Amino acid sequence: MKVKIYGSRGSVPFFGRSNIEYGGNTVCSVLDIDGHIVVLDCGSGLMQFYYDMKDKFKDGFKFDVLLSHLLIDHIVGFSTFSPLFSPDSDIRIFTRSRNDLPLASQVFGIFQPPYWPIALADMTSANLIGIPDEKPFSLADGITVTPFFTEKHDQTTAFRIDAGKSVVYMLDYEVQDNLDKYDNLITLCKNADLIIFDAAYLPEDYPLRRGWGHSTFEDGIELAEASGCKKMVFSHISQDYSDEVLNSIRDKLDSTKFSIAFDGMEAVI
């Protein structure tokens, strides 16, 4: 299984001299499971995925999306992603239904006048599929997804993907605000080969942002130890943290187990 990080920041895309090394695209990660492509969230990094893959998918993009929730930093990549509107594409988007509107209206609802020049919900050819509960479901033979809901912040969904190797994806997950589900979280993460973990804030900055739906590096380290995961990548990093700050954190981590995501990061597990 190959993993590539196309975006590792939260809130808004931001590029400047202070974040050249880690980048400024909002969150988007991609799994390549023996040619079956699974996209984890569709922030601004989705466009680099498009440029990387357009030759491979010249006859039509084919991939699955696991969409954790609908905050703008996780869906902004949809805004100019032309394969969404192509009848030659075969794109499935799995996400949790959050109200009585059609899923297309939920996922693309912000992209319409007066906030966007065209209504993407009326144009998409993607197949949107609701995740009704926390029961495992299959993407293909040998690829199983286990969703895990949090009720306390934007109805976010974490995912465990098992396909010989296992990846847990849990961004916009606030560990301290979901301690009542901590035992279940450890079970979800048990012995995972890789966890992509929300570490938006430094511990000293977290108290003023408690309840915003994000965690810290320390939360991730504790979860890694409790769950026995093999590797953890910290993502959804606040734009407040420059390359210099992130390098100072990186230098204190056990590099055999922990790393900080950056745009273009690749791994094979």
Q: Is the pLDDT reported for residue 151 higher than 80?
A: no
- Which strands, in side-by-side order, build the sheet including 165-170? 137-140, 143-149, 157-163, 165-170, 194-198, 232-235, 258-260
**CA–CA gap between residue 266 and residue 232 (Å, rounded):** 13
**Structural domain boundaries enclosing 149:** 2-268
Q: Is the pLDDT reported for residue 153 higher than 80?
A: no
Q: Is the pLDDT reported for residue 183 higher than 80?
A: yes
**SS3 for 53?**
helix
**CA–CA gap between residue 19 and residue 144 (Å, rounded):** 36
Q: pLDDT grade, residue 150 (50/70/90)?
A: confident
Q: pLDDT grade, residue 152 (50/70/90)?
A: low
Mean pLDDT of the chain: 96
What is the number of alpha carbons within 13 Å of residue 15 lying toward its C-beta?
Answer: 9
pLDDT, tens digit, 9 for 90 and up, residues 227-260: 999 999 999 999 999 999 999 999 999 999 999 9
Kindly state the average pLDDT of the residues 146-163: 90
**CA–CA gap between residue 221 and residue 216 (Å, rounded):** 9
**SS3 for 130?**
strand
Calculate the dihedral angle through the C-alpha atoms of 203, 208, 212, 216, rounding to the nearest 10 degrees: 0
- Contact criterion met (CB below 8 Å) for 3 and 163: no
Q: pLDDT grade, residue 118 (50/70/90)?
A: very high
pLDDT, tens digit, 9 for 90 and up, residues 43-101: 999 999 999 999 999 889 999 999 999 999 999 999 999 999 999 999 999 999 989 99
Q: Write the CATH number for 87.
A: 3.60.15.10
175: which DSSP letter? G
Domain count, the chain: 1
Interior angle at CA 76, CA 74 and CA 79, nearest 5: 145
In this prediction the pTM is 0.97
